[in-house]
């Protein structure tokens, strides 16, 4: 339904636009000269050795045909311009666009853009989707059989562990349906500008996006029962923006209003529990299914209880309304004042779900009918700038943002944990609010043949509610230099920063969502990195210069370092160093060559301490992780164009080599730590070539070939399967591939 509606909107808008064309293309005066340059008809062929979705993650190179069109019309008085573009017409990533411009009067833009996003192919689900697409269901006999098997195991006082559960579920997985997980965005846009080039102009923009498909969603019935499912995506977003722009001799100002509405056709997802056909509850049901018998004492622990069906509150419908204005006043010939202001309201009032669907639980009544959430963002920014004799330029900027959540705080006497257990721990919602104020001053000096030197100082202050700190302040100083020294272009910048927070770091903030605080369970030495004290350095330098008259060389070196020097736990450091070289060369008329290479070396460190039921005070329980990520990228290309031929060859290689060094002192818990070498290791090689030959001035033929080879070794996807300890996974393929894609085309010009 969404797709049909979108298509009708597009065609309707197009018809309206065509009706609005005064004079049209078939009218008497002025005449239009139409050129079609080009019309390309392409046949595609794809050969891939795996079912991985990664090769076509955001594109469609599948077997078939596609169209590319570039049509331009220009009136003989040069006052009207028409452009029609089609890119990849007929494919999942097709773009269709039309622009019509009447010089000095109005213009219209229409577009319809398709963006696929494929997450994985050939995943497996034990579930089937109902007709309304809001529930994933398992056949009752399967649920009944699995529950009965667990009950029998408990009755026989035998352990329920991964081996047992895996043996039960594998026969069903062997015959389960497969699913490709992915979604499609379809974006329609219409933009009408009236009064172009005049003292006052108006702009009306309409946008609509339909997003349909699925994506991975982690649903869970407890610690031992992750049930990954394809989340049904049926989103609709509509935006309308009306703005006016006014110009006068001393400035320009724009003001407008925007309304955006998001709707989710599937607001609640229901999903069966593979292991239960009947509802039950017990204090340990959140760890179901699991059962152990102590061989020494004979005591048992664990649970096979829980709900037979779970439900997930998917993204609620929401609205955003925004009034905005921005502009510039030219105070004198050499000074200016810029401003930008906006007031934006966000609200969301979806009906609230019940606490639970588990009939074995007597949950508190739901006292609230709907979410009743409302927040607003106020924003103001003012820039003053001026140029002075002697090549000086001064800039002063002030920025203020205030995000205020004015929603009422809702409290419940408890909540149902993982659909399985009523926890009578009263909770209350926390409306997070914050504000930010930045003050920046910059001074630049033109040093003539020595380029331009600039100094900038900035103070960035955050105030927060319900967080660990009330105020954090960061001071930054930056020095930059840009110069053309003879044939060389030199750019350099260094910035240092120092952030700290006022007052104490309040660990009590974590209790904001408890009606009756139960005590701190976060480590006192933890500092959340968004508020932690830190020192920062950022720097880069690049030099570009010609070499031997035909080469253009650019070399660069840069880095950043964030040192959370007062954080005992949490993120403690993040440092990146990168360097690279670009080499370009013109190869006579119509020819070019380039090669570039870059390396980025990133190190991230963090620390924590493992605790049991209460925060550990034993430093032997500390653990530390140091991540090292080395990314190498390399590109090379050659192109040549003559009157009859166009040729292009490109190569690209990307490699990531990551490592996690993990350590923990011996004698505590976890008692040593073991790192891994596959902290996101991957390689991608891409080779492509294009060859086009002009047969006549109006006809050309061409061939394109693309080869890609992608391998990945990642700890997070290491040896995954559809069923692993405590997790039933879709396990859709977005991994390795080697793929060939070829396109044969006919190119026409009229």
425-484: contacts with another protein (CB under 8 A): 427, 429-432, 434, 442, 444, 446, 451-452, 454, 462, 464, 466-467, 480, 482
Interface residue with another protein, options 726, 740, 746, 749 (CB under 8 A):
726
Q: In angstroms, give the least distance from the CB of 19 to another protein.
A: 4
Of 2, 31, 48, 59, the one binding another protein by CB under 8 A: 59
With respect to another protein, which residue has the nearer C-beta, 133 or 401?
401
> Of 171-179, 293-301, 516-524, 701-709, which part binds another protein (CB under 8 A)?
516-524
Structure tokens, 355: 């606490």
Show the tokens assigned to 571. 């993120």
Structure tokens at 88: 């990849």
Residue 12, SS3 per DSSP: helix
* 8 Å CB contact between 411 and 515: yes
- Residues 102-134, buried b or exposed e (16+ Cβ, 10 A)? beebbbbbbbbbbbbbbbbbbbbbbbebeeeeb
Minimum CB distance to another protein smaller for 58 or for 139 = 58
Q: Are 117 and 183 in contact (CB under 8 A)?
A: yes
Collapsed DSSP state (helix, strand, coil) of residue 686: strand
CB of 285 to another protein, least distance (A): 14
- Per-residue b or e along 650-665, where b marks 16 or more CB atoms closer than 10 Å to that residue's CB: bbbbebbbbbbbeebb
Tell me: does residue 173 bind another protein (CB under 8 A): no
CA distance 722 to 179: 13
Check binding of 558 to another protein (CB under 8 A): yes
Site for another protein in 367-386 (CB under 8 A): 368, 371, 373-375, 377, 379, 381, 383, 385
CB of 56 to another protein, least distance (A): 9
Taking CB under 8 A as the criterion, the residue among 727, 732, 739, 743 binding another protein is: 727
8-state DSSP, 371: -
Residue list 67-96, contact with another protein (CB under 8 A): 67, 69, 74, 77-79, 81, 84-87, 89-94, 96
Of 51, 522, 536, 648, the one binding another protein (CB under 8 A) is: 522
Binding another protein (rule: CB under 8 A), the pick from 48, 50, 133, 401 is 401
Per rule CB under 8 A, count of chain residues that contact another protein? 212
Specify whether the CB–CB gap between 598 and 561 falls below 8 A: no
CB distance 321 to 258 below 8 Å:
yes
| CB-count exposure of residue 594 (10 Å: 0-12, 13-18, 19+) | middle
Q: Which two tokens stand for residue 234?
A: 């049926």
Contact of 743 with 42, CB cutoff 8 Å: yes
Q: Which residue has the tokens 């829980």?
A: 306
CB of 18 to another protein, least distance (A): 4
Query: Of 148 and 508, which has the nearer Cβ to another protein?
Result: 508
Which is it for strands 268-272 and 392-405: parallel, antiparallel or unpaired? unpaired
Question: Which residues from 302-331 bind another protein, rule CB under 8 A?
Answer: 310-313, 315-316, 318, 320, 326-328, 330
- Helices 162-174 and 140-155: angle between axes, nearest 10 degrees: 160
Contact string 275-294 vs another protein (x = CB under 8 A): --------------------
Q: Which of residues 685-724 bind another protein (CB under 8 A)?
A: 712, 715-721, 724
Question: Residues 143, 153, 212, 264: which binds another protein (CB under 8 A)?
Answer: 264
Site for another protein in 628-657 (CB under 8 A): 629, 631, 633, 652, 654, 656
346 part of the interface to another protein, by CB under 8 A: yes
Q: By CB under 8 A, what part of segment 91-150 binds another protein? A: 91-94, 96, 98, 103, 105, 112-113, 115, 117
Question: Does residue 395 touch another protein according to CB under 8 A?
Answer: yes
Q: Integer distance in angstroms from the first to the last C-alpha of the chain?
A: 38
Q: Segment contacting another protein (CB under 8 A): 277-285, 349-357, 495-503, 690-698?
A: 349-357
539 near another protein (CB under 8 A): no
| Stretch of 6-14, 277-285, 640-648, 693-701 lying at the interface with another protein (CB under 8 A) | 6-14
Q: Token pair for residue 120?
A: 């994985």
Q: Does 43 engage in binding with another protein (CB under 8 A)?
A: no
- 195 binding another protein? (CB under 8 A): no
Residue closest to 300 by CA, chosen among 327, 282, 278: 282
Residues 206-225 that bind another protein (CB under 8 A): 209, 216-220, 223-224
Closest CA to 302 of 284, 320, 286: 284
Question: Of 144 and 342, which has the nearer Cβ to another protein?
Answer: 342
CB 402 within 8 A of CB 377: yes
We find the least distance from the C-beta atom of residue 507 to another protein, in angstroms, to be 10
Q: According to the binding rule CB under 8 A, does residue 665 interact with another protein? A: no
d(CA 302, CA 284): 6
Q: Among residues 299 and 718, whose Cβ is nearest to another protein?
A: 718
Q: Does residue 38 have a cis bond before it (omega within 30 degrees)?
A: yes
Residue 154 — φ and ψ, nearest 5°?
-65, -45
Interaction between residue 7 and another protein (CB under 8 A): yes
- Among 191, 260, 278, 592, the residue binding another protein under the rule CB under 8 A is 260
What is the full DSSP assignment across 67-85? EEEEEEEEETTS-EEEEEE
Site for another protein in 576-615 (CB under 8 A): 578, 580, 582, 596, 598, 600, 604, 606, 608-615
Q: Are strands 415-417 and 290-293 parallel, antiparallel or unpaired?
A: unpaired
CB of 294 to another protein, least distance (A): 19
Minimum CB separation of residue 739 from another protein in Å reads: 14
**Residues 9-44 as b or e (16 or more Cβ within 10 Å = b):** bbeebbeebeeeeeeeeeeeeeebeeeeebbbbbeb
Residue 99, classed as helix, strand or coil, is: strand
């Amino acid at each position: 339904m969404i797709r049909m509606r979108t298509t009708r909107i597009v065609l309707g808008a197009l018809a309206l636009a065509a009706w609005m064309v005064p004079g049209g293309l078939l009218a008497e005066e002025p005449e239009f000269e139409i050129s079609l340059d080009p019309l390309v008809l392409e046949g595609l062929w794809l050969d891939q050795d795996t079912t991985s979705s990664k090769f076509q993650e955001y594109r469609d190179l599948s077997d078939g045909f596609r169209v590319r069109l570039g049509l331009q019309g220009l009136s003989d008085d040069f006052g009207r311009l028409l452009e029609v573009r089609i890119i990849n017409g007929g494919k999942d990533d097709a773009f269709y666009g039309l622009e019509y411009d009447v010089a000095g009067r109005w213009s219209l833009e229409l577009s319809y853009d398709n963006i696929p996003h494929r997450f994985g192919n050939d995943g497996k689900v034990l579930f089937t989707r109902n007709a309304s697409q809001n529930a994933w269901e398992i056949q009752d006999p399967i649920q009944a059989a699995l529950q009965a098997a667990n009950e029998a195991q408990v009755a026989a006082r035998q352990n329920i562990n991964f081996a047992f559960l895996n043996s039960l579920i594998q026969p069903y997985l062997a015959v389960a349906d497969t699913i490709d997980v992915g979604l499609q965005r379809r974006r329609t846009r219409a933009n009408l500008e009236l009064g172009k080039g005049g003292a006052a102009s108006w702009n009306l923009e309409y946008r609509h996006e339909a997003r349909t498909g699925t994506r991975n969603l982690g649903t869970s019935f407890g610690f031992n029962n992750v049930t990954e499912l394809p989340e049904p995506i049926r989103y609709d977003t509509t935006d309308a923006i009306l703005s006016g722009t006014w110009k006068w001799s001393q400035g320009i100002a724009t003001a407008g209003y925007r309304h955006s509405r998001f709707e989710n056709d599937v607001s609640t997802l229901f999903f069966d529990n593979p292991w239960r056909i009947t509802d039950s509850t017990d204090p340990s049901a959140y760890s179901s299914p699991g059962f152990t018998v102590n061989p020494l004492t004979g005591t048992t622990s664990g649970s096979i209880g829980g709900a037979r069906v779970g439900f997930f509150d998917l993204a609620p419908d929401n609205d955003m309304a925004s009034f905005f204005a921005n502009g510039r006043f030219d105070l004198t010939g050499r000074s200016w004042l810029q401003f930008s202001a906006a007031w934006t309201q966000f609200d969301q009032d979806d009906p609230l779900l019940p606490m639970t669907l588990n009939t074995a639980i007597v949950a508190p009544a739901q006292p609230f009918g709907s979410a009743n959430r409302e927040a607003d963002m106020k924003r103001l920014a003012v820039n003053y700038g001026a140029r002075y004799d002697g090549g000086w330029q001064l800039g002063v900027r002030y920025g203020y943002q205030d995000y205020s959540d004015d929603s009422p705080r809702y409290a419940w006497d408890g909540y149902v944990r993982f659909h399985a257990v009523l926890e009578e721990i009263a909770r209350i919602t926390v409306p997070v609010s914050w504000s930010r104020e930045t003050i920046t001053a910059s001074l630049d000096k033109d040093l003539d043949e020595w380029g331009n030197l600039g100094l900038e100082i900035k103070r960035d202050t955050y105030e927060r509610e319900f967080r660990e700190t009330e105020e954090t302040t960061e001071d930054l100083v930056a020095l930059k230099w840009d110069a053309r020294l003879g044939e060389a272009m030199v750019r350099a910048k260094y910035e240092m920063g120092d952030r700290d927070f006022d007052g104490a770091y309040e660990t009590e903030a974590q209790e904001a969502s408890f009606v009756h605080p139960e005590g701190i369970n976060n480590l006192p030495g933890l500092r959340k990195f968004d508020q932690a004290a830190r020192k920062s350095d950022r720097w880069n330098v690049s030099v570009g210069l010609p070499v031997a008259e035909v080469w253009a060389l650019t070399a660069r070196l840069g880095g950043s370092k964030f040192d959370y020097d007062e954080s005992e736990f949490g993120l403690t450091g993040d440092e990146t160093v990168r360097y690279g070289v670009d080499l370009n060369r013109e190869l006579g008329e119509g020819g070019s060559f380039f090669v570039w290479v870059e390396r980025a070396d990133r190190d991230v460190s963090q620390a924590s301490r493992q605790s049991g039921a209460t925060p550990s005070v034993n430093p032997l329980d500390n653990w530390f992780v140091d991540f090292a990520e080395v990314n190498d990228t390399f590109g090379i290309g050659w192109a040549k164009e003559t009157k009859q031929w166009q040729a292009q060859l490109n190569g690209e290689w990307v490699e990531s080599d990551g490592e996690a060094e993990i350590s923990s002192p011996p004698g505590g818990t976890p008692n040593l730590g073991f790192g891994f070498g596959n902290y996101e290791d991957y390689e991608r090689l891409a080779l492509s070539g294009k060859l086009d030959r002009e047969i006549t001035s109006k006809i050309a033929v061409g061939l394109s070939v693309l080869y890609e080879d992608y391998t990945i070794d990642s700890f997070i996807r290491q040896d995954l399967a559809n069923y692993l300890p405590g997790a039933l996974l879709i396990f859709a393929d977005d991994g390795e591939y080697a793929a060939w894609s070829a396109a044969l085309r006919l190119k026409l010009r009229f």
